[in-house]
Structure 1
Amino acid sequence: MASDLSDLLAPELIVIGLPAASKKALFSQLGALVAPTLGIDARLAADALALREKEGSTGFGGGVAIPHARIAGLPRIVLAVGRLAQPLDFGALDDAPVDVVAAMFSPPQAGGQHLKALARVARRLRDRALVAKLRGAGSPDAIYALLSDHGVRDAA
């Protein structure tokens, strides 16, 4: 199913209540979150997100941001999802503060796969009803179910 993001997601990379007072703090927390799973240095991941963000805001509206970075040594594209404790100014096009973040990490050689995955994530997170459900989800497992085909089939 096109809306299924389970191939990019890992349940351990979903967190609720990230306390980030700035983009820099958020990127540090996301780096620390993904480092053990990806086998990379947390600072490397945070710096890669910050470097990409300098090119332009990854806040695309509706309170959602998709920061992304390419990092050498990654075996595949991975998505980490966080719901922030407090909305954060992200410089989004609609000026809305961000409270839902999907951070994507790709190997440099992913090229077209990176762009396709980014488009899939953006398409999914443009769905306002889904984003509302993500905001109301009570656990990382609930967020995983909402973003995976399993959740689409089994949602009750």
Structure 2
Amino acid sequence: MDLSDLIEQDAIFPSLRSQTKKQVLQDLSERAAALAGLSPRDVYETVAARERLGSTGIGGGIAIPHGKIAGLSRIRGVFGRLAKPVDFDSLDDQPVDLVFLLLAPEDSGADHLKALSKIARLLRDPSVLGQLRALHDATTIHNLMTHTVPPFAA
């Protein structure tokens, strides 16, 4: 599974203005719903229900909210770089500025976990993190995430 299978260029939002965790989840849910042809409310309820089980803020300013949802034909992602970090109840108590929302079909099984693992590995790479925080356009961020171009200078 390649990240280019999970996220399209129009699913990259390089400067989200969300100011709270709930607003981040709502904004990314709306964008994911529009791209996938789903109800924004259903997407938000799916990721919010998962978030109630425990924060998806994994530390280092990163969150990976996720969930399985009916009506989705394939695993899809939406990435947002926040203009200002927000409290996400992260494991390290640090605010979050990079959020990768992942949605999977209800019957995705292990593919959902593989996608989560791939995203977490990418977002834990210090050189990738530095570049994600420095880049300001969707095309360049998408290229970095999908490795379609050589690494960028930070």
Task: Please show how residues 1-156 of structure 1 align to structure 2 within 5 Å.
Answer: 4-152=2-150, 155=152
Q: Is the 8 A contact 2:15 2:136 kept in 1?
A: no
TM-score (norm 1): 0.93
Q: Post-superposition shift, 1:107? A: 0.4
Uncovered stretches (5+) of structure 2, i.e. residues with no partner: none
- Which deviates the most, 70-79 or 16-25? 16-25
Aligned equivalents of 1:82 and 1:15: distance in 2?
Answer: 5
Please, what TM-score do these two structures have when normalized by structure 2? 0.94
| Secondary structure, counterpart of 1:143 in structure 2 | helix
Task: Let me know the Cα RMSD of the aligned residues.
Answer: 1.5
Deviation of 1:151 after TM superposition, in Å, equals 2.5
- Counterparts of 2:83 and 2:46, CA distance in 1: 23
* Residues 17 and 82 in structure 2, CA contact (< 8 A), matched pair in contact too: yes
The Cα shift of 1:141 comes to 0.6
In the alignment, the residues of structure 2 paired with residue 57 and residue 36 of structure 1 have an alpha-carbon distance, to the nearest angstrom, of 25
**Quick one: distance in 2 between partners of 1:123 and 1:17?**
22
Stretches of 4+ moved more than 6 A in 1? none
| Structure 1 unaligned residues grouped into runs of 5+ | none
Residue 27 of structure 1 deviates from its aligned partner by 1.1
In the TM superposition, residue 155 of structure 1 has moved relative to its aligned partner by 4.8
Q: Distance in 2 between matches of 1:55 and 1:89?
A: 17
By how many angstroms is 1:133 displaced? 0.3
Instruction: Give percent identity, aligned residues only.
Output: 42
Question: Displacement of 1:135 after TM fit?
Answer: 0.7
